[in-house]
């Protein structure tokens, strides 16, 4: 197995996340790609009051939520919503 060659085949694709929480003071993107960190990926407020973040993600399934003023919120634009442990729901994006 050629580790260098295999690492080069792991490609990331820029993904745009959008959250319409116009009344929010802060919005962060949390998910398996950042160990559900509330500080790693803050989103940027747009002129219309919505929130935006472009993030490179590897090709696989990713589970995520928006953290709107500290409260987890599902993405209404997600591919689907699934149940995780303790019956909590998360948004899913699958990249192939």
Sign of CA dihedral 24, 18, 51, 47: negative
Whether 67 is covered by a domain: the verdict is yes
Task: Report pLDDT for 96.
Answer: 85
Per the structure, the complete domain to which residue 21 belongs is given by: 10-94
> In DSSP terms, which residues pair with 20 in a beta bridge?
none
Mean pLDDT of 70-82: 94
Establish if 3 belongs to a structural domain: no
In a domain, 17, yes or no: yes
Would residue 43 count as lying in a domain? yes
Q: Is 49 a domain residue?
A: yes
The answer to whether position 1 is within a domain reads no
CATH number of the domain residue 41 falls in = 2.60.40.10
HSE at residue 83, side-chain half, CA atoms within 13 A, is 2
pLDDT of residue 10: 64
Residue 1 has pLDDT above 90, yes or no: no
Confidence of residue 74 (pLDDT cuts 50, 70, 90): very high
User: Could you tell me the pLDDT band of residue 75, with boundaries at 50, 70 and 90?
Assistant: very high
In a domain, 31, yes or no: yes
Local confidence band at 85 (pLDDT 50, 70, 90 cut-offs): confident
Residues with Cβ within 8 Å of residue 74, at least 6 apart in sequence? 65, 66, 81, 89, 90, 91
State the total domains in the chain. Answer: 1
- What is the overall mean pLDDT for the chain? 89
Q: Is residue 5 part of a domain?
A: no
Residue-wise pLDDT for 33-49, tens only, equals 999 999 999 999 999 99
For residue 29, what are the β-bridge partners?
A: 66
């Amino acid at each position: 197995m050629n580790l260098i060659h295999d690492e080069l085949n792991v490609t990331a694709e820029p993904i745009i996340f959008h959250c319409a929480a116009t009344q929010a003071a802060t919005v962060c993107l949390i998910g398996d790609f950042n160990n559900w960190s509330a500080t790693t990926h803050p989103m940027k407020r747009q002129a219309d009051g919505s929130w935006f973040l472009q993030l490179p993600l590897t090709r696989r399934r990713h589970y995520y939520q928006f953290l709107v003023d500290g409260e987890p919120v599902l993405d209404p634009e997600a591919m689907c919503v699934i149940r995780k442990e303790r019956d909590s729901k998360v948004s899913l994006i699958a990249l192939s």
